[in-house]
Amino acid sequence: MPLARERLDRHPRLANEAVGSTTRTIQVLPHLLCHAAVNSNARDHASGVLCGPKYSQPRMPLPPQKYVAVCGQSEPDPAHAEAAQEVGRLLAKAGALVVCGGLGAVNEAASRGASEAGGTVVALLPGEDRHGAGEHLGIALPTGLGQGRNLLIVTAADVVIAIGRGWGTLSEIAHARRAGKRVIALNSWEVEGLETATSAAQAVELALG
């Protein structure tokens, strides 16, 4: 390490390239994580080996139609939980991959709905381990970023469905809109630039449209 540091100190250009490389890694990390989750499913479904003159081809699952982040308040609310579970179920039935924060309330309900419908759920957890993660997650990835993982969640998604309120949900809405991504609000914040849905079915229809 001392030799590497001395080399960077003597060559500012190398130091700048190192910083740029780290920045690019952070920017593409959410997409790499989600693609890794899908590819792991593909490996699990490989079925064929050579057998005489004929052999079967590996069965590869179709890629998800869309990556949809389901975000929502962390405080329990029966109405929001019911809506989130239905959103997760409908997304899974439509072949979308669900991205979420992986903890309780809206995240737990959406994960349950998607999992029970046979869908894939990728969770980006705030802590450095999987403690407290929901039981309906296909892939649970600790980030160690705390609330900063909200940015990863919306960056990994093509579109966001926000359910309920909460400051964390508002931050995810802001990150998504700043990145130019669509946000579907279901009983959520009334913010300019959002698309409003009045039911889980409408929210999913808008998200996948």
pLDDT tens-digit map of 111-133: 999 999 999 999 999 999 999 89
Q: Give the domains, in start order, of the chain with CATH numbers.
A: 67-208 (3.40.50.450)
Predicted confidence (pLDDT) per residue in 7-28, tens digit: 444 554 544 454 444 344 445 5
Q: Which pair of tokens denotes residue 97?
A: 């991959």
DSSP lists the bridge partners of residue 197 as: 186
CA angle (96, 100, 101) in 5-degree steps: 170
- Please state whether the predicted TM-score (pTM) of the whole model is above 0.75: no
Residue 45 CB partners (closer than 8 Å, separation 6+): 58, 59, 60, 61
Predicted confidence (pLDDT) per residue in 36-81, tens digit: 555 544 444 433 333 334 334 444 455 667 999 999 999 999 999 9
d(CA 9, CA 49): 53
Q: How far, in whole angstroms, is CA 104 from its chain's centroid?
A: 15
The rounded radius of gyration (Å) of the Cα atoms in the chain is 20
Amino acid symbol at 19: V
DSSP lists the bridge partners of residue 54 as: 51
